[in-house]
Structures are given as C-alpha cells and as structure tokens.
C-alpha cells in the first residue's frame, strides 16, 4: 500500500505551511551556482502542490521569499525574481489543470513591476479554482505582518470604529493578511534546520511542526504524504488533557 492510500482522509490537515529550505546548499553540494538549486526547487513545488491536491489538502502556503532575503547578493536576488516570473508564466497552466487557486501574502510592493504584474495576472486567472489554494509568502515577514495588523486596529480605535475593550484574537486574526485562510495545522521545514524564521508566527500557534533532513529540491509528494502520516499519529490537545480530547 502506498503512502497516499495510508492517509486518513478524515484527519487531513486543512492547511499545510512549508519552509522550502536548502536550495543553495543542494546546488553547492553539486558544484553548481545557488540559483541552480532554486530552479530545481520549482520542480519540487510542482510535485508537492500536485500531491496536496491528490491528497485533498485544501490550503498550502509556501515560504517563497522573506523580507530578509532582499539582503542576499544582488545577482542572486535578480535571478530569483526572473525565475519567479518565468515560473508563474510556465506553471499557471498546471495550476489551472489541477484546479489550484493562486494567492500571495507579503509586501508585494517591493517586487519588481514585471514580477508583480505577472503574479497578479496569475492570481486573477486562477481565482475561480476550488481544489486547493496555494499561497506564496513573498517579500514576507511575520513580524511586519503583525505590526501592520496592530496599525490597522489602532487606526480603527483612533477613528472611533472600534473600542479597545472589544479587541480580541478574532479581530486580530482578521487584520492579518491570512484573514481568509485557516491557520496551518502542520508546518514542514526541509534541510534539517530547526527554526521558524519569522514565518506565520501568529498563525502557527497550535500547528504541529515537522522537520526533515531532506533539502527542498529533493522533496517530493511522497515526503509530503509521510509528513501528513506523522501528523495523523499525533495527539492534538490544545491545552487539554488526553482524557478530555478522547
């Protein structure tokens, strides 16, 4: 029996967030430039997204480019932006075939104009798809997102629209860029690093964390299924006791 067949379809995580780490190290290990690893990482993205659709996972979010990544060497950043444009152009057809709706969060205004335009066109083109929502965290910082949400709420208070005593977790969550997306129930990080790296800090409060030694270009749908199986074996208590949960 394959890994897909072993999955309990009644216990699938509704939302899987992934830190796609290890592209540069993968390329370096093969004596190639770092950007070669990013090119191969696109293959992993395609296979994992198709695997998510196959398994029936409705939401998947990929940490594609952080605000800190702008500090990388200029040539690498330029190559990454060009790769993003080329990938969006090439993969939109695959998204349509698999019924995947594209979404993006982060400070998209920092993206080059051509890149942002191609992204918005792909988002519009796939907007009616319903099999799975693929969110790209681009030029993304969770701390910046939290600060921006706080700023929005403060402005509502200043205008008298919101009373400070009414501020709660629901209002805060609805002020984040992920307001229309359920919180991740499973977060996967590749490459053997054990960090959150400023990724969905509010949203993953109760997510199950799964770390794998595999570098992202080697990650495939079978690895995704393996992570889901591991998730399904865990007891999620949300602060309660085992007796209460069961």
Catalytically active residues are 21, 69
Q: Rounded CA gap, 87 and 136, in Å?
A: 12
Q: Rounded CA gap, 246 and 235, in Å?
A: 9
Q: Rounded CA gap, 187 and 212, in Å?
A: 11
15 contacts 181 by C-beta, under 8 angstroms: yes
The C-alpha angle with vertex 26 and arms to 21 and 32, in degrees rounded to 5, equals 135
Burial 12-50 (b: 16+ CB within 10 A, else e): bbebbbbbbbbbbbbbeeeeeebbbbbbbbbebbbbbbb
């Amino acid at each position: 029996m394959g890994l897909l067949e072993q999955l309990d379809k009644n216990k699938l995580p509704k939302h899987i967030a992934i830190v796609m780490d290890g592209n540069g190290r993968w390329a370096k290990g093969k004596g190639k430039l770092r950007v070669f690893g990013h090119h191969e990482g696109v293959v992993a993205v395609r296979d994992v997204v198709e695997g998510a659709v196959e398994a029936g996972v409705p939401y998947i979010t990929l940490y594609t480019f952080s605000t800190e990544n702008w500090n990388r060497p200029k040539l690498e950043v330029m190559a990454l932006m060009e790769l993003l444009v080329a990938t969006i152009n090439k993969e939109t057809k695959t998204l349509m075939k698999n019924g995947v709706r594209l979404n993006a969060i982060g400070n998209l205004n920092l993206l080059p104009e051509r890149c942002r335009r191609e992204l918005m066109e792909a988002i519009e083109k796939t907007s009616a798809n319903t099999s799975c929502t693929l969110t790209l965290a681009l030029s993304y910082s969770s701390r910046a997102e939290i600060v921006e949400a706080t700023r929005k709420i403060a402005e509502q208070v200043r205008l008298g629209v919101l009373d400070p005593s009414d501020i709660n977790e629901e209002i805060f969550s609805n002020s984040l860029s992920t307001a229309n997306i359920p919180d991740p129930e499973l977060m996967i990080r590749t490459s053997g690093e054990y960090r959150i790296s400023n990724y969905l800090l509010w949203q993953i409060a109760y997510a199950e964390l799964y770390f794998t030694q595999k570098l992202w270009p080697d990650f495939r749908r079978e690895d995704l299924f393996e992570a889901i199986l591991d998730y399904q074996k865990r007891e999620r208590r949300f602060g309660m006791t085992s007796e209460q949960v069961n």
